[in-house]
Amino acid sequence: MNILVTGGAGYIGSHTCISLLEAGYSVIVADNLCNSKIETLKRVMKITNKEIIFYKIDVTNEHDVEELFEKHSIDGIIHFAGLKAVGESQKIPLIYYYNNIVSTIILAKVCEKYGVKRFVFSSSATVYGENQVPFFENMNLMPTTNPYGESKVISERILTDVAKEIPGFSVAILRYFNPVGAHESGLIGEVPNGNPNNLMPYITQVAVGKLDKLRIFGDDYSTFDGTGIRDYIHVMDLAEGHVAALRYLKEGVQVYNLGTGKGTSVIELVRAFEEANNIKIPYEIVSRRHGDIAACYADVTKASRELGWRANRSIRSMCEDSWRFELNNK
């Protein structure tokens, strides 16, 4: 089966390519490399000893996407391509809305034209906004306070409407919690552009000496130690979740949380990293980051029941694997 992976050279996409290839799928990647490097795909091929067909195209370009569909018989799409930095999305909202929404529209249009019925979409736990934890798939979505989050909500709605109209169209909307870690080989992982915004890459860059200390955004939340709680999920567990979703797809739209169901505080993650890798992470407490919520973790029963998938890797292996990748790639 030929799977088109948009954004396949990126962090989650590249790890998912490994799981797809190992599960026996043929993989075609479409990526404009705006936040990734071709070297990552070479490493994926090295790890799996399998080939990937690559197109350097922008998936908002309908002509280029159609050309790809003319050349290959595509059986399904996993649509990762998107811009993902929350702060940046507030500075350049039009670019975020255009890239993240138009790409979804173009791909859905091309699916309709070429009769492709399987579509897996990368959404985010950010769509739950300030709902009460744990987050369930059937909760009402809340405003997300930023264009990145809104682009995910809008893309979800578009796909839901399209699925009502195209007979046989099957969509899985996957809401990721906090992906961290790297492939166990240490060859591929997350490469932030500039100073990292997210916690784990920040910790690894402090550990390696690129940054002097971690700034913990607030210790006055109503959580057990006052720092923010998140549901960190190993990127390889997340990758395997995509294969499970692809296999299960059925007509209409299904929404799944991909998380572990367990919350970890910022301080707990710092301690786990220190313990796993025997490195001290200096930190200071600073004020809260605008837009952050106290706690965000998933209810994962639906994915477990319907997809037969669950995240198995521990916080310790997330810390070990993130660190191995940082060391290999500093």
Residues catalogued as catalytic: 148
String marking each residue 60-89 x if it binds ligand NAD according to CB under 6 A? x-------------------xxxxx-----
What Rg, from alpha-carbon coordinates, does the chain have? Answer: 19
CB 236 to ligand NAD: min, Å: 13
Site for ligand NAD in 114-153 (CB under 6 A): 122, 124
Q: In angstroms, rounded to a whole number, what is the distance separating the alpha carbons of residues 128 and 142? A: 6
Q: Do β-strands 229-230 and 264-265 pair in parallel, antiparallel, or remain unpaired?
A: antiparallel
Site for ligand UD1 in 54-83 (CB under 6 A): none
State yes or no: residue 178 binds ligand UD1 (CB under 6 A).
Answer: yes
> Of the candidates 109, 289, 302, 310, which one interacts with ligand UD1 according to CB under 6 A?
289
CB neighbour list of residue 132: distance below 8 Å, 6 or more residues apart = none
Residue nearer to ligand NAD on the CB measure, 186 or 201: 201
Q: Which does 7 bind (CB under 5 to 8 A by kind): ligand UD1, ligand NAD, none?
A: ligand NAD
Q: Which does 260 bind (CB under 5 to 8 A by kind): ligand UD1, ligand NAD, none?
A: none
> Of the candidates 120, 266, 267, 307, which one interacts with ligand UD1 according to CB under 6 A?
266
Residue nearer to ligand UD1 on the CB measure, 55 or 202: 202
String marking each residue 2-41 x if it binds ligand NAD according to CB under 6 A? ----xx-xxxxx----------------xxxxxxx-----
Q: In angstroms, rounded to a whole number, what is the distance separating the alpha carbons of residues 234 and 311? A: 8
Burial class of residue 248 in the structure, from the number of CB atoms within 10 Å of its CB (0-12 exposed, 13-18 middle, 19+ buried): middle
CB 200 to ligand UD1: min, Å: 7
Nearest position to ligand NAD, beta carbon = 10
Site for ligand UD1 in 191-230 (CB under 6 A): 197-199, 202, 214-217, 228, 230
What sign does the dihedral 34-40-41-42 (CA atoms) show? positive
Residue nearer to ligand NAD on the CB measure, 60 or 264: 60
Strand, coil or helix: 126: helix
Residue nearer to ligand NAD on the CB measure, 61 or 279: 61
Strand, coil or helix: 300: coil
Residue with tokens 């990368």: 122
Burial class of residue 184 in the structure, from the number of CB atoms within 10 Å of its CB (0-12 exposed, 13-18 middle, 19+ buried): middle
Contact 199, 265 (CB under 8 A): no
Residue nearer to ligand UD1 on the CB measure, 86 or 258: 86
Q: Which does 171 bind (CB under 5 to 8 A by kind): ligand UD1, ligand NAD, none?
A: none
CB neighbour list of residue 5: distance below 8 Å, 6 or more residues apart = 13, 16, 17, 20, 27, 28, 29, 30, 77, 78, 80
What sign does the dihedral 318-206-196-21 (CA atoms) show? negative
Please give the residue ranges that form the binding site for ligand UD1 (CB under 6 A).
84, 86, 124, 126, 149, 178, 197-199, 202, 214-217, 228, 230, 266, 289, 291-292, 296
